[in-house]
Amino acid sequence: MIIRAVLESPMAVTVAVAPDECPDNRGPENGGAEEVFVLSPGEWKRLNRSLGYDPGAGLMLSAGQPVDEGIYDALRSAHGRTAAVRDAGRLLAFSDRSRSALVRRLTERGHSREDALYAAEFLEKKGLLDDGEACRRYAQSAVRSKHVGPRRITAYLMSRGFSAEDAKAAAASVDPEDYREALLWQIRKKCPALLESPGEVDAAARGKAMAALMRQGFSADGIRTLLRETAP
């Protein structure tokens, strides 16, 4: 096999490899045997260094050079890592994900587990994948937009693959005043009489309201404390 072409751009390096006898115009789309590998510029430089070339001096693989099994495998591995990193970036641009959820989604999309783990580690080093920060962003948003309590936030984050430690720390990072406002919102929605005329709320209605509020992630003690503070 030989390298048919190397096309470099600021965002990617495309390497076309084909058997010696493969005509120039017989790529895969035309029924030929040419293979195309797309590498990030960083992967391209690392690959060349691993093969003994000196990218800093402009000495790298180029068109016309033979491709042995070692070079082919190196190109294929670098291509897989590049694809996984870019796919991971697109997934994170769409929504926050935990490290474990990102790796799982990448493997579901056809990437090898090795490449998926590499992508997660790469993005962590770049500061683009941070479970703790993602948890804190969700907690801050959820308490203000969904009006839920710490237990609901913790449970949701754990269901999304975040660790119990990160989930609990995120829930604990929310300003207590924000939780207070969220709880008041829920009470006004589910049982406003608890605030307006608590003495007229019978035990059954009070118990039903307490259960509903607890399902939103608030503790019984926290609910009782707020009701005492707001009693007319």
pLDDT tens digit sequence for 123-139: 999 999 999 999 999 99
Write down the residue that tokens 């003690």 correspond to: 221
pLDDT tens digit sequence for 10-59: 999 999 999 876 555 444 444 457 899 999 999 999 999 998 888 888 88
How does residue 77 score in pLDDT terms, banded at 50, 70 and 90? very high
Q: What is the mean pLDDT of the chain?
A: 91
The pLDDT value given to residue 8: 93
The pLDDT value given to residue 27: 46
Give me the amino acid identity at 170. Answer: A
Give the mean pLDDT of 191-199. Answer: 88
The pLDDT value given to residue 32: 54
- Taking alpha carbons only, the member of 216, 230, 231, 151 closest to residue 183 is 216
Share of residues in the chain with pLDDT > 90 (%): 78
How does residue 199 score in pLDDT terms, banded at 50, 70 and 90? confident
The residue among 200 and 88 whose pLDDT is bigger is 88
Q: 193, 232 in Cβ contact below 8 A? A: no
pLDDT tens digit sequence for 96-107: 899 999 999 999
The pLDDT value given to residue 20: 76
The residues with which 16 forms a beta bridge, in sequence order, are: 5, 36
Share of residues in the chain with pLDDT > 70 (%): 95
Buried-exposed string 75-107: b where 16+ CB fall within 10 A, e elsewhere: bebbbbbbbbbebbbebeeeebbbbebbbebbb
- Taking alpha carbons only, the member of 161, 83, 169 closest to residue 129 is 161
The pLDDT value given to residue 26: 47
The pLDDT value given to residue 56: 82
Q: What's this model's pTM, rounded to 2 decimal places?
A: 0.76
**Angle at Cα 197 formed by Cα 193 and Cα 203, nearest 5°?**
70
Give the mean pLDDT of 158-183. Answer: 95
pLDDT tens digit sequence for 218-229: 999 999 999 999
Lowest mean pLDDT segment, chosen from 111-120, 151-160, 161-170, 195-204: 195-204
C-alpha 119/C-alpha 122 separation (Å) is 5
Give the mean pLDDT of 197-223. Answer: 92
Give me the amino acid identity at 227. Answer: L
Give the mean pLDDT of 189-215. Answer: 91
